[in-house]
Amino acid sequence: SSELTQDPAVSVALGQTVRITCQGDSLRSYYASWYHQKAGQAPVLVIYGQNNRPSGIPDRFSGSSSGNTASLTITGAQAEDEADYYCNSRDTTGNRVIFGGGTKLTVL
Amino acid sequence: QLQLQESGPGLVKPSETLSLTCSVSGDSMSNSNYYWGWVRQPPGKGLEWIGNIYYTGNTYYNPSLKSRVTISIDKSKNQFSLKLISVTAADTAVYYCARVRPTPGFIPFDYWGQGTLVTVSS
């Protein structure tokens, strides 16, 4: 399969915990990577692999995976976390790249 | 600090060829640990992978675009390029170049250019 499915929109109260999910057959074989994208800006990698954060990404961001679902968890969401979030992985052949459709996170 | 910068025309006529270049500074494109990729984003929509290139010149393309896309690399200039032929309005998008850090288990895009808007219109 060459698709990754994300919920279009999720909301969270300031300081609470939110989980954003990404589903697809390829995730049974490959880990997802996660990006946030604020309006008018380029995407920024926040999680890759099993649960790795690039330098400069706060530790409130974490990743996990089970079966065909990958999850990005933000523990103690901040106002600056309001953004679009995208997942990506290899497709089931391993040779191509696929992106999820994105989730718009609103911090209330 | 690695930086990527896209350049090219912001307006392309329908049926013509879209050509963009990504200039890389802060890393050598001969580094065997990375691919170099293109991703686009139509206005108000999500990210779409276009393709990747390795320093050897090996390329990997999105099957939906493969018949129209060519990605090439010029290691001497530390640049890589995108050509998309026979464009239509559906190709209007912000085009990003990025460094890709592939492993057998995952494929993150760890550094991105700022993006450049290409509009297809007569």
Q: What is the mean pLDDT of chain B?
A: 96
Report chain B residues whose CB lies below 8 A from the CB of A41.
Answer: 114
pLDDT digits (tens, 9 = 90+) for B31-61: 889 999 999 999 999 999 999 999 999 999 9
Is the per-residue pLDDT at A24 higher than 60?
yes
Interface probe, candidates A97, A98, A99, A104, chain B, greatest B C-beta count within 10 A: A97
pLDDT digits (tens, 9 = 90+) for B97-116: 999 998 888 899 999 999 99
Provide the pLDDT confidence category of residue A15 given band limits of 50, 70 and 90: very high
For residue B103, give how far its alpha carbon lies from the nearest alpha carbon of chain A (Å).
Answer: 9
Q: Does B103 touch chain A (CB under 8 A)?
A: yes
**Stretch A58-81: mean pLDDT:** 97
Angstrom distance (rounded) from CA B11 to CA B119: 5
Angstrom distance (rounded) from CA A38 to CA A19: 18
Angstrom distance (rounded) from CA B114 to CA B5: 7
pLDDT digits (tens, 9 = 90+) for A36-55: 999 999 999 999 998 999 99
Provide the pLDDT confidence category of residue B2 given band limits of 50, 70 and 90: very high
pLDDT in the model for residue A2: 72
pLDDT in the model for residue A41: 97
Report chain A residues whose CB lies below 8 A from the CB of B3.
Answer: none
pLDDT in the model for residue B31: 87
Which residues 13-32 in chain A show a CB within 8 A of chain B? Answer: 30-32
DSSP B1: -
**Stretch A1-9: mean pLDDT:** 89
- Percentage, residues of chain A above pLDDT 90: 94
Q: Give the CA distances from residue A32 to residues A66, A94, B59, in Å, rounded to whole numbers and listed in that order.
A: 11, 13, 22
Q: A20: exposed, middle or buried (C-beta count within 10 Å: 0-12, 13-18, 19+)?
A: buried
pLDDT in the model for residue A95: 86
pLDDT in the model for residue A59: 96
